[in-house]
Amino acid sequence: MSESTWTVLLWGLTILLLGWTWIPALISGLGGTRYANGGSEDPTQLETAAEPDYLFWYRQLVARRYQPLGTGWMRLNYYGSDWRYETRVRAFRSSDRDTYAFIQQQPRPLDVWWLTMFATCWQDGSLLLTSNAADQPPGDGDYIVQGMESTDLAAVEELHRGEAVRLRAAGRRADPDGSLDTLLRATARHAGPAARYTGVKLGQSYLLAHGAIHTVLSIPVAAAVGVGHWGVPTVNLVLGAILAASHYAAKRRAGRTMRVQIALKVATQP
């Protein structure tokens, strides 16, 4: 096989490999992220599921008098470097029917039930969300997202109800419907625009960072052997494979760390 044929073949493989993450990142960076969700009010799976990481959160919610409501999914297309990012959702409703809680299973390679959110849907169409993932002060407007990094859902719920009390004092009233469809509609209405905004930042930062790395490492090779030499696509192919593998491995480690943290919490509970 001639050198030119090798060069063309290697460039083809490089474009395929890099395109798998660069194309969705480009679409995302241009504002192309799309959000969708769905679900059904069948609580059977919530009561019979046996994943240890899910049960850790489930028992806390049941202890706080939350009732199983149904299952669902939330999906982002063209989100950062991902073509599709979809989470499974198991939703609950408080006994007074004005607060929801839902647990999300992050997709592979994380593959862990971790993110738990409390939600209140207001009659004017606005939405309050409180997450256990990270410390975040509440914002303003019709879509208020706040949070605290904690595995103690009692503390997260207290934060949520405190902000809900403030919003009630300002004149907002909780939607009394209490159905899963109400939660999904409110989430789709507000999370879609928010996801596009985040997707733009993720996509652009991914392309800038990875583009800079590939450019910096390609220049010395191109200067030494020429732009048309097979060494240039080889460097980019190997580099792309290393970056993809390290990204995948980092997510797997993060998921494993989350599961270990839950196991330790369960082991130390009285």
pLDDT in tens, 178-235: 999 999 999 999 999 999 999 999 999 999 999 999 999 999 999 999 888 999 999 9
Q: What is the band of 4 on the pLDDT scale with cuts at 50, 70, 90? A: confident
Q: What is the band of 2 on the pLDDT scale with cuts at 50, 70, 90? A: confident
The owner of tokens 């706040």 is 146
The answer to whether residue 41 scores a pLDDT higher than 70 is: yes
| CA pair distance 35, 270, nearest whole angstrom | 41
List 73's β-bridge partners, or say none: 38, 88
Q: Say if residue 110 is in the same domain as residue 172.
A: yes
Residue 1 pLDDT: 65
Q: Say if residue 134 is in the same domain as residue 151.
A: yes
Give residue 243's domain range: 3-27+200-268
* Mean pLDDT to the nearest integer, 27-48: 95
Q: Say if residue 185 is in the same domain as residue 206.
A: no
Task: Output the CA–CA distances (angstroms, integers) from residue 102 to 9, 19, 79, 94, 97, in the order listed.
Answer: 48, 34, 22, 11, 14
Residue 246 pLDDT: 96
Q: Say if residue 144 is in the same domain as residue 79.
A: yes
Q: Say if residue 149 is in the same domain as residue 256.
A: no
Q: Say if residue 162 is in the same domain as residue 59.
A: yes
Q: Say if residue 135 is in the same domain as residue 212.
A: no
Residue 267 pLDDT: 86
Residue 270 pLDDT: 67
Model pTM?
0.91
Q: Say if residue 144 is in the same domain as residue 12.
A: no
Q: What is the band of 115 on the pLDDT scale with cuts at 50, 70, 90? A: very high
Residue 17 pLDDT: 96
